[in-house]
Chains A and B, each alone.
Chain A
Amino acid sequence: MGIWGSLFLLFLILISAYQSFAKEGSAEELNEEFTEGLLLRPLADRKVLAHFHFQSSVPPTRTYGRHHHLFPKSIYQLIKKFRVREMELSFTQGRWNYERWGGYDPISSSNAKPPGVELWAIFDVPLDQVDASWKNLTHALSGLFCASINFLEHSTSYSAPQWSFRSFTGKLRYGTLPREAVCTENLTPWLKLLPCRDKAGISALMDRPSIYRGYYHSQRLHFTSDEYDTAKSNSGIMLEQTLTVVLQPNTLGARAMVSGKTLQPSWSLSSLFGRKVHGKCSVSKSSNVYVQFEQNLVSELKEVWKESEESERGILTHNNFWTNPIFEMSASPHRIVKEVGNLQQEDSSILYEFSVEDFNDSEPFDLGLKWKLPVAWSCQQAPLRASRFLMGSGNERGAIAISLKSSRNNNTQRVGCSENGSQLRIDIFQVVPWYVKVYYHTLKVFVDGELQSTMENIEKMHISSSEDKVSPGVMEMILRLPCGVKTAALTLEFDKGFLHIDEYPPDANQGFDIPSAVVSFTDFQASIGFEDNFLNKLPILNELQERKHVICYTEVLLVPLTTPDFSMPYNVITITCTVFALYFGSLLNALRRRVGEEERLLKSKAAKKRGPLTSILSKLFAKLTGRPIKPPETQSASPSSINYKVIVKVILVAGMAVGWQYYFR
């Protein structure tokens, strides 16, 4: 009995210990958190998308205090000092290929960014201080990220969109630097914000040469803070850092062919990045790698599967699927997550989850995907494909055209339209620098090639025209297009302005950039819903699940402006001065002139016929040639001696020139 009693006591102690432990666990929820994740997706054009996602969160200062253990100090100070409510900064190199890499998924909507730097921020300060805060923020960020973000300080380079970009009237500022070059000096400070930097965890994969060799590279920093919200229930600061790269796997030699079709390239983490994952970052809460098969790929795989082998559906989620005849994965996934809520189509995208927690230095994680059968699929497109180009020629005027073309699969479009009464809503936000003077009254809308009356298709429009050397021109517009539209185009005419000679950037002949326009389809939402509710705790899946509008960026336009000859002012000074000097000299000479004396001189010359100089020269010439001096008695000798004179003068000048060259080289 005593033994039983003591055992019972032990049990009680254990229970109480567990309870206290559980209590601690619940208290942990208020703590700072850091998670890391990597999403890999084979792309239809034989490339691979890698999307790194890191998230740090911190509870509000009011309850948690201002000293942090994981959250980057510099970002917290930035938020604190400039009272930033939300901010996004992206550094991008290359252009996201909406046709081949997709335009209707969460990653392309939130991570496809315009080339160069894009920065927008929402401030929690009174309206009249927003501009000052923005200026200070740009300077702080340019110091933090080693980039020329401080050029966004000038009021000509940023704008305040009213409603089309994000609905925060007045306190939002938006600016882009299309020509900013992005390289490691921007990545290193970005990595410094991660607790493990690139020393451990998934970020250890970021081998600089491999990353920058890619076709597209975009690093993004986004945070939301409700530190200054008046509402009681605030959730603190959430910092999200993503790096999206599109890489071409090494296909070592010739492309593998199976039954006349090209095989998709096989890849592994080590072949893509040249590195492997040696365990997780020790302070991160979760650290997973996902491989995503898009919806179209999944349906294609099923087709191929049916062809090759009669089998039941759902084979892709079958127990031993990773050694199937179509492809092979080098590791078994930890879990398989299926998309749900996509009612329109029977096939849905699949995520294979791999946890890197159990790997270490001796046994690194190296995920590989090997294709055995050729598979071809196309990615999901945005309802309309937007592109922008310049029209016209010459250095005087031109026109900007935004063209919207219906994408190939009308599937999605029909879906969006049915929801909205056969009208397709398109939001366009475009910023044009002041030296491109856009005449907004020349706006023309073409639908399927026919000119429409402007107001018919435009639901709402807000224009703030540019002011010379003060502010850029901003156009915000909601366009309603009929559902079955094939093509639509907007044109705007503009005049090219003249800049002051000081305002030209270096290498002005390259042309000037007009930042990308933002085209968003607000009726369409790119999100992938997942079946498991507890997955909500994983930020990378949360990002995919978040309901966002489908957004795409158009191309950056390069406008050649008339560039002056930059040495012109000096040339003008020189030539004016020379003219003045000539005038002055001749005036002085005219004043000094003795007319009578000159006449006498001429007379004496005519009498003498030969000047003293010519006689000396002829004597010299005779000596040089060795002929005896002949008294010049004939008239015919005279022109030849003049000839000599000219030749000698020319030689003299040439000698002087040679001497000059020789001594002043």
Chain B
Amino acid sequence: MAEISEAPSTLDPDFDQENMRKSKPGLKRLTLSLAVLFSFLLGLPFLLKSIEIYRSSPPPFREIDDLSTAIESSPILFPCHFRAVFVNFDPNSYTADQLSISVQAHMAKFAAKNSPACGTCASNVTVSVTLDSNSNCISNGNNVDWKCGALNEFKFAEKHEDGLLDEDFASLLDNNSGAKVYTVVAVKTEQEEVRAVVGKYRHAWIMGRIFEEEAIEKIAEIFVNVFMNGGKEEGLIHGEFMPLGADGRIVLSFNLLNADPHNWIYDWDFQEIDENLLSPVIDALKPLADVSVESQVLYHTPKSSFSFWDDRLDSYIFSTKDLPFFVNSNEWHLDTSVAAGGLSKILQFVVYVPSAKECPLQLQLPNGEISTTNGFISPMWGGIVVWNPSACLTDSKIKHPLRYKISSEDSRKLFEVFMGQLRQLFGLKSDGLFVGASGTSILLASERGFSEWELDVLSRQHSCFNLLQCGTTLGSLSRLVQSLPRMIIMDDIGKQVKYSLEAARLTLSNALLGIYDASAESSRQARLLAEDAFYHPSMMSVSYYSFEHCFAVYSPFFLPVSLHVLLAVLREWKRYKQESKKYYAWKAK
């Protein structure tokens, strides 16, 4: 509106028409425009509320944060029970309590060397000690069911093999209570050589001419480094790399690759391997994972790295530097499996049969030696073994390639290598020896691939890693949801998060009680639910309503209207001020 200027009149010479007025300026129009403006301002929150994305059950952000901080601040530790049995030691030099305290002190020393890893035992371990000598049998602690004097019945002659001895101990230590107690039996014999063996079950024994101090140190080391930490060394695979799918399933995919079928074609009887060798392992892993096995034979699959002829070794050599390029992802169509849906983990095991122009093919270790297994692993992917056919050196210029079958003896050997690789993929030792500060211990290999104490370690670690994974997944989910306030969240997701949190809490309580299997199960559940929530199809959809979109929809109305309202208020305000100035000018006069 143009500025208002009244027509000049010459009626009153004192009265300046331009700058004075006699009446008070009206407030009607100003209040009206202000009322409109304020009603708009008041209505704005209602509008924003009405166009807000309604989340009926938002994920409980605070609880998620609590969980992840709880998991990250203190790794879950399980209570473990240890038992040391001293046989034929002098009962007068030490009492059982003294021994127990000194074992615990040594254990604390060993445990302090490496920071408490996830899934190990809690620091406040209890060690019950039994002193069993010919004359008497003393023990501290209440639940010790060592049959005193039982060891005297059989002689520790050298004819006893470790395996048989292991079974003997197992029958001796067999406790029906179900509690998982790790036992080390120290036996003082006349043998010069001190022999430490870790059995297939939950016990170990030390035998030989040994003194108390030595025995205590060794026992403590076996407790901490073998039973608690799984005999792992630094530098091996560790951390959160457990080759287990979120749903606790693993598919072991065995592949026989014939690099060039023009030279020879090798086949295998995998049915037999599966039935005789693999099924015990699968049974052993059952509490930990649901394992399924598949196999295939592929042809025309050359490796993609180069090898060179070495006269001294009389074979083609590929070195450890070439390993990253060995797998030929273009030609090796190992294929993901239809059976492994979604969150399962596939481990590929490959037998590579080299072609005639690179046969025999050997892996050279960095120290210049030839690898005995002629294979290697790739963490979280699987393992590869190069298998050189025996017909390799005979110069075969046959027109039609011959078909061979890998003999059952050879396939057994291959399988043993694969077993070692599988153990390595799980982060366990594959050579059956544990080298500690106080000497070397023999780790007896189970025919089932994994001994019981190893499975305990794995299941503890598994539940711990699952829980960590669950925490991080839920944490990133909550961060994502909070950063996108306009994203539609289905009720299912909120529910899944809630269940996941419940399962995580159950895991923690089970872990405190020391129930490994149940905590592994519930931790798996927690992780699975968390991943399900994160990968929910509705999360992926682009149906979230961005702010730009909202702005584009509402601006055609609100932009012009707000212009009108604001201008009206400004003008009325200005006019009111101007007019009241005029009024005051007149009044002052």
Residues of A within 8 A of B553 (CB): 570, 573
A308 interfacial contact with B, CB 8 Å: no
Min distance, Cβ B87 to any Cβ of chain A, angstroms: 50
A452 interfacial contact with B, CB 8 Å: no
CB <8 Å contact, A200 and B557: no
A629 and B441 CA atoms in complex are apart in Å by 116
Pairs A–B under 8 Å by Cβ, sample size 21: A68-B295, A68-B297, A73-B296, A74-B337, A81-B338, A196-B299, A197-B300, A199-B299, A199-B300, A200-B300, A282-B299, A283-B261, A283-B265, A580-B557, A581-B556, A581-B559, A584-B564, A589-B568, A592-B33, A600-B7, A604-B7
B155 interfacial contact with A, CB 8 Å: no
A1 interfacial contact with B, CB 8 Å: no
Contact with A along B84-100 (1 / 0, CB 8 A): 00000000000000000
A357 and B337 CA atoms in complex are apart in Å by 34
A67 interfacial contact with B, CB 8 Å: yes
Number of chain B residues whose Cβ lies closer than 8 Å to a Cβ of chain A: 46
Whether A592 contacts B338 in the complex (CB less than 8 A), given A282-B261, A570-B552, comes out as: no
A12 interfacial contact with B, CB 8 Å: no
* Given contact pairs A570-B552, A578-B560, a sample of 8 additional A-B residue pairs in the complex whose CB atoms are under 8 Å apart: A69-B297, A140-B338, A192-B333, A282-B400, A577-B556, A580-B557, A585-B563, A603-B7
Closest 7 CB pairs of A and B: A604-B7, A577-B556, A577-B557, A581-B560, A199-B300, A585-B564, A77-B338
Residues of B within 8 A of A78 (CB): 338
B281 interfacial contact with A, CB 8 Å: no
Contact with B along A549-574 (1 / 0, CB 8 A): 00000000000000000000010011
B572 interfacial contact with A, CB 8 Å: yes
Residues of A within 8 A of B298 (CB): 195
A648 interfacial contact with B, CB 8 Å: no
Residues of A within 8 A of B36 (CB): 588
**B-to-A contact residues, CB < 8 Å:** 2, 4-8, 29, 32-33, 36, 261-262, 265, 267, 270-271, 274, 294-300, 333, 335, 337-339, 399-401, 552-554, 556-557, 559-561, 563-565, 568, 571-572
CB <8 Å contact, B561 and A585: yes
Residues of B within 8 A of A65 (CB): 271
A257 interfacial contact with B, CB 8 Å: no
A545 and B548 CA atoms in complex are apart in Å by 65
A66 and B8 CA atoms in complex are apart in Å by 109
Min distance, Cβ B349 to any Cβ of chain A, angstroms: 13
CB <8 Å contact, B556 and A573: yes
A597 interfacial contact with B, CB 8 Å: yes
Residues of B within 8 A of A195 (CB): 298-299
CB <8 Å contact, B299 and A578: no
Whether A283 contacts B299 in the complex (CB less than 8 A), given A577-B557, A580-B557, comes out as: yes
Residues of B within 8 A of A140 (CB): 338
- In the complex, the chain A residue whose C-beta lies closest to that of B340 is A77
Residues of A within 8 A of B559 (CB): 581
Residues 585-641 (chain A) with a chain B CB within 8 angstroms: 585, 588-589, 591-592, 594, 597, 600-601, 603-604, 607
Whether A578 contacts B568 in the complex (CB less than 8 A), given A67-B295, A200-B261, A200-B300, comes out as: no
A607 and B553 CA atoms in complex are apart in Å by 49
Whether A77 contacts B29 in the complex (CB less than 8 A), given A67-B271, A196-B300, A200-B261, comes out as: no
Whether A69 contacts B267 in the complex (CB less than 8 A), given A197-B300, A604-B7, comes out as: yes
Residues of B within 8 A of A585 (CB): 560-561, 563-564
- In the complex, the chain B residue whose C-beta lies closest to that of A604 is B7
Min distance, Cβ B238 to any Cβ of chain A, angstroms: 33
Residues of B within 8 A of A578 (CB): 556-557, 560
Min distance, Cβ A64 to any Cβ of chain B, angstroms: 9
Residues of B within 8 A of A601 (CB): 2, 4-5
CB <8 Å contact, B337 and A73: yes
Residues of B within 8 A of A68 (CB): 295-297
CB <8 Å contact, B294 and A73: yes
Residues of B within 8 A of A604 (CB): 5-8
Min distance, Cβ B340 to any Cβ of chain A, angstroms: 9
A573 and B549 CA atoms in complex are apart in Å by 12
A218 and B564 CA atoms in complex are apart in Å by 67
CB <8 Å contact, B270 and A73: no
A642 interfacial contact with B, CB 8 Å: no
A651 interfacial contact with B, CB 8 Å: no
- In the complex, the chain A residue whose C-beta lies closest to that of B30 is A592
Whether A574 contacts B556 in the complex (CB less than 8 A), given A68-B296, A581-B561, A588-B568, comes out as: yes
Give the contacting residue for B560; candidates A72, A74, A582; CB below 8 A. Answer: A582
